[in-house]
């Protein structure tokens, strides 16, 4: 294994905090001095450089502008590094990882997200193992071929595909899950890569897509959903898409007012995307009449997409200014492993 160069990018979040010994308050530390917090990094046979957002961002405040900023950093340094590790707050990590999986077109190097549930300066922190192993993964090559040439999330001994991941726990170290796709790698005594699950190295020219359209609403179907509320949503100025989280395998109410309003939305060129609100599984819109009605209206089949992937994929595709037919076709096929079929 060659001595690869890794760029460690700190965006903000719990992982970059340490306790002030006098006040006990959490304060950010200087990430250029990360080796003082994790002296074990000196033992890794990799050349590690660090780069930090000038003003670290709590993940609750992450926006599409930050996704563009991150993608620009990777674009600027792409030729000079063999892999990238992004330190990010956990609350929106799955959104950011999903977004970059689409924005980094023809990616052929590892981009690994990680973070922690406890600050890096905490006695029981999970930050050190997450960072060390993420760096090892980002620098894992078979000759000149990276073992993980895609966007992933590493947390608590598992590497997950970024656009398949969801935050599943606010309390446990095992904070992320990939409900519809198995891990890409497992960390134990040895790093075990499941090569048949990992995307192949892209043969295309790497580029960054920075145009994202955020005129999208995520709407969860529930028994108290009412006509006035939905009517207000579809009449929002500039609205271009509704991510509809439906029941089970893609079912929603068949009340005439509901279907009439969705029909009006479609006539206004608002795209309806049908995904399940269940943690696992996929939609099969032709299985029941309730799902078939949405399909007949022209709703996009979101299959087994996570909400995070459905939202960011639509933002990405809307930015490409495709025709309605081409947009639906592009959305309903996998771009970077975000769908199972």
Q: Residues 25-72: pLDDT tens digits?
A: 766 767 766 767 787 888 788 999 999 998 889 899 999 999 999 999
DSSP secondary structure of 173-213: S--EE-TTS--SEEESSSEEE-GGGSPPPP-S--EE-----
Of the residues 11, 14, 125, 246, only one is catalytic, namely 14
Its CATH class, for the domain covering 5-208, is alpha beta
Rounded CA gap, 209 and 71, in Å? 8
Sheet of 241-246: strand order equals 216-220, 241-246, 271-276, 300-301
Q: What stretches in the chain show pLDDT beneath 50?
A: 1
Query: In 3D, which of 204, 241, 265 has the Cα closest to residue 318?
Result: 241
Clarify whether 14 is annotated catalytic: yes
**DSSP characters over 12-56:** -SGGGEEE-TTT--EEE--GGGHHHH-GGGGGSSSEEEEEE-SS-
Q: What whole-number distance in Å separates Cα of residue 128 and Cα of residue 196?
A: 29
Instruction: Please tell me the predicted confidence (pLDDT) of residue 42.
Output: 80
What's residue 278's pLDDT?
96
Please list the residue range(s) of the chain that carry CATH number 3.40.50.1170: 5-208
Strand 5-10 to strand 47-52: parallel, antiparallel, or no bridges (unpaired)? parallel
Q: Where in the chain is the domain with CATH 3.40.50.40?
A: 216-331
Q: Span 216-331: which CATH code?
A: 3.40.50.40
- pLDDT score for 36: 73
Q: Specify the pLDDT at position 60.
A: 92
pLDDT for the residue 289: 77
């Amino acid at each position: 294994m060659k001595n690869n160069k890794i760029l460690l990018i700190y965006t903000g979040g719990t992982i970059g905090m340490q306790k002030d010994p006098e006040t006990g308050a959490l304060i950010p530390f200087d990430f250029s001095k990360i080796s003082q917090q994790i002296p074990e990094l000196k033992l890794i046979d990799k050349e590690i450089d660090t780069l930090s957002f000038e003003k670290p961002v709590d993940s609750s405040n992450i926006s599409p502008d930050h996704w563009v900023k991150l993608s620009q950093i990777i674009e600027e340094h792409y030729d000079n590094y063999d892999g990238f590790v992004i330190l990010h707050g956990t609350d929106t990590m799955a959104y950011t990882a999903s977004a970059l999986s689409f924005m980094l077109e023809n990616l052929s190097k590892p981009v690994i997200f990680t973070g922690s549930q406890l600050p890096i300066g905490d006695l029981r922190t999970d930050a050190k193992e997450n960072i060390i192993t993420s760096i090892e993964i980002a620098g894992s090559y078979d000759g000149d071929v990276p073992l993980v040439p895609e966007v992933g999330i590493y947390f608590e001994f598992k590497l997950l595909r970024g656009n398949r991941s969801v935050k599943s726990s606010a309390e446990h170290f095992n904070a992320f899950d990939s409900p519809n796709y198995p891990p890409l790698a497992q960390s134990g005594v040895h790093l075990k890569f499941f090569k048949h699950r990992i995307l192949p190295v892209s043969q295309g020219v790497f580029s960054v897509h920075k145009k994202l359209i955020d005129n999208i609403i995520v709407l969860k179907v529930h028994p108290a959903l009412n006509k006035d509320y939905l009517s207000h949503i579809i009449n929002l100025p500039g609205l271009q898409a509704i991510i509809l989280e439906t029941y089970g395998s893609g079912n929603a109410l068949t009340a005439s007012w509901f279907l009439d309003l969705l029909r009006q939305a479609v006539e206004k060129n608002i795209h309806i995307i049908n995904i399940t609100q269940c943690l696992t599984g996929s939609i099969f819109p032709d299985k029941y009449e309730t799902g078939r009605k949405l399909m007949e209206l022209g709703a996009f089949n979101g299959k087994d997409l996570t909400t995070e992937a459905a939202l960011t994929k639509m933002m990405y595709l809307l930015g490409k200014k495709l025709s309605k037919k081409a947009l639906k076709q592009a959305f309903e096929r996998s771009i970077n492993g975000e769908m199972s079929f």
